[in-house]
Each structure stands twice: as structure tokens, then as C-alpha cells.
């Protein structure tokens, strides 16, 4: 299947290729990733897409396709006014704009641990660097599901894993192992901005992790292994059936 801007996020494309977002969904809850209806994009995701669309030069199209971002009087809802503030702020920064000046929304495909993967890069500087734009609430450390302590938001959201996948797929397509940068803007008022690199050794380690977990996820996806239920997500709560009495100390999560 040939991927294009139009079909990249389609059900067919998701069935044909693994992606960072699918991998993240499976790591969060295999059962929900398999069976839950696809949620419509959250406001937080749409704010990011709004800024992406501006960088790509397709904001008019984005606004036309997403009428829910406007109030009845035709003005932008508060969340998208925040997106406008981010756009104004980043334009004032020469270095931020230079890193975001690569080719936009570049799609590539490749293979990791025998599984087909797809990627879509926000700003691709061929032969030089991969840059991904992130619009965050703030840049603070976050609680992680895997460690009982706060970690950098890049790790908490798995952006290091996304970076490892992108760098590897670009390497397979071009032979270049490129440095990877995050162009970060926050939804604070006024917005904060930063450029951050992810060191090569972190990307090496994360790629090994992706290579390790991909065969299991493929097997679950193919129906060879029953999906694990996380027990706490919306899908698991909705479909829960009580079969045993728990010790009270098993209730809840420590790190929330």
C-alpha cells in the first residue's frame, strides 16, 4: 500500500503498517488498542495539529475541515487562540524557525523486527536532521506508568521511542543516521519555546526496545496471543466483569 497525505491515518493504512502511535496504544493497553473504537482527536491533539497545519501552509484547509474549533460567532475557541499565540511566538525566534524550515510532513516506510512501519516527519532536513514539533501543556517532568517517579516529558510520552523509530526508518530509506530534535512550544501564557536533542545512545537503546516488543505486538495484532487488559483504561472499565475479591492494597495505582 502506497501511503499519501490523504490515506496516512486511514484504517487501511493502520492495518498495513505499525506506527509510533499504534505502538504507544499497545503499550498502554493491548485490549483497548485491539477493540476500543478509535477516539476522536482530543482538543490537545487538535491544538498540535493546528500548529502543524500552519507550519505546513495548510491552515485554511485545516480550519475548513474542523469547524468545531470555532465559536458560534466565528471566532476561535480559547484553545485555538492559544495555538495562534504559539504561532506568533515561534515566528519571533530565528533558531526555532530554522529548525522547523525543513520539508513538512514527509512520509516514509520501512521495517523494524520484521514488521512494516510508517512515519510522518514534521520537518525533515534531508541528510542533516529530523525535527518533530511538540505543543505541550508545559515542559515539566511527568509521572510515568513504568517508574514510580517523575521523568522528562519526552520519556513519559514515549517521544524518545518515536524518535528511535523515525531515525531508523530514515536510515533504511536514505542510508543516513540523522540527529533528532524536538521543537517544543508550550500552551502557557506566554508560551515557552525550546529546541532539544535526543542523544544517539538513547535512540540506540529505544530502538532495541522497539525491536524487542514489536514481535509480541504483531502476534497480539494477528490474534495469536490474547491481548492483555490493563484494567484501568476507559475500555477496560467499560468492559470489566468482577470475578474475584481483591485485597484492598491491590486497588488503585501508586503513581497517579
Shortest separation between residue 203's beta carbon and Zn ion, angstroms: 29
46 binds Zn ion (CB under 5 A): no
Nearer to Zn ion, 25 or 163 (CB): 25
Q: How many residues bind Zn ion (CB under 5 A)?
A: 5
**What's the alpha-carbon Rg for the chain, to the nearest Å?**
19
Contact yes or no for 122/133 (Cβ under 8 A): yes
Based on CB atoms, which residue is closest to Zn ion, 59 or 233? 233
27 touches Zn ion by CB under 5 A = no
Instruction: Closer to Zn ion by CB, 110 or 227: give it.
Output: 227
Residue 36 within binding range of Zn ion, rule CB under 5 A: no
Write down the least CB distance from residue 227 to Zn ion, Å: 9
Calculate the CA 58 to chain-centre distance: 20
- According to CB under 5 A, which residues from 224 to 243 bind Zn ion? 230, 233, 236
User: What's the closest the beta carbon of residue 255 comes to Zn ion, in angstroms?
Assistant: 16
Q: Is 29 in the site for Zn ion (CB under 5 A)?
A: yes
Backbone torsions φ then ψ of 223, nearest 5 degrees? 80, 10
Piece of the chain touching Zn ion by CB under 5 A; list 6-14, 28-36, 79-87, 212-220: 28-36
Assigned C-alpha cell, 89: 511566538
Window of 32-40, 75-83, 122-130, 158-166 that interacts with Zn ion by CB under 5 A:
32-40
User: Which residues, 6 or more positions from 169, have their beta carbon under 8 angstroms from its beta carbon?
Assistant: 108, 109, 110, 112, 117, 118, 119
CB of 33 to Zn ion, least distance (A): 9
Distance CA 228, CA 35 (A): 12
Q: What angle do CA 5, 66, 53 make, to 5 degrees?
A: 45
Query: What distance in Å separates the CA atoms of residue 197 and residue 180, rounded to the nearest whole number?
Result: 6
Interface residue with Zn ion, options 18, 25, 32, 207 (CB under 5 A): 32
The DSSP call for residue 239 is T
- State phi, psi for 89 to the nearest 5 degrees: -65, -45
Under the binding rule (CB under 5 A), the answer on residue 139 touching Zn ion is no
Closest distance of CB 213 from Zn ion, Å: 17
- 41, 52 in Cβ contact below 8 A? no
Report, in Å, the least distance between residue 71 CB and Zn ion: 35
By CB under 5 A, name the binding residues for Zn ion.
29, 32, 230, 233, 236
Amino acid at each position: 500500500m502506497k501511503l499519501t497525505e490523504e490515506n496516512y491515518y486511514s484504517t487501511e493504512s493502520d492495518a498495513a503498517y505499525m506506527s509510533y502511535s499504534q505502538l504507544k496504544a499497545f503499550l498502554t493497553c493491548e485490549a483497548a488498542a485491539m477493540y476500543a473504537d478509535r477516539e476522536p482527536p482530543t482538543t490537545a491533539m487538535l491544538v498540535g495539529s493546528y500548529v502543524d497545519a500552519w507550519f505546513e501552509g495548510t491552515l485554511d484547509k485545516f480550519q475548513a475541515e474542523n469547524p468545531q474549533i470555532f465559536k458560534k460567532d466565528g471566532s476561535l475557541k480559547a484553545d485555538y487562540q492559544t495555538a495562534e499565540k504559539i504561532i506568533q511566538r515561534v515566528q519571533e525566534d530565528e533558531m526555532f524557525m530554522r529548525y522547523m524550515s525543513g520539508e513538512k510532513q514527509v512520509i516514509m516506510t520501512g521495517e523494524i523486527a520484521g514488521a512494516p512501519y510508517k512515519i510522518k516527519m514534521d520537518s525533515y532536513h534531508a541528510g542533516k536532521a529530523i525535527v518533530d514539533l511538540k505543543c505541550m501543556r508545559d515542559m515539566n517532568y511527568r509521572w510515568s506508568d513504568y517508574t514510580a517517579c517523575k521523568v522528562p516529558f519526552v520519556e513519559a510520552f514515549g517521544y524518545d521511542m518515536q524518535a528511535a523509530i523515525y531515525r531508523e526508518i530514515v536510515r533504511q530509506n536514505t542510508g543516513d543516521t540523522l540527529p533528532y530534535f524536538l521543537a517544543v512550544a508550550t500552551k502557557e501564557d506566554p508560551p515557552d519555546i525550546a529546541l532539544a536533542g535526543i542523544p544517539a545512545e538513547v535512540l540506540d537503546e529505544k530502538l532495541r526496545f522497539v525491536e524487542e516488543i514489536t514481535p509480541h505486538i504483531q502476534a497480539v495484532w494477528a490474534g495469536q496471543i490474547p491481548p492483555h487488559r490493563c484494567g484501568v483504561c476507559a475500555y477496560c472499565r467499560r468492559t470489566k466483569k468482577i470475578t474475584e475479591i481483591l485485597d484492598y492494597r491491590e486497588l488503585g495505582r501508586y503513581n497517579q
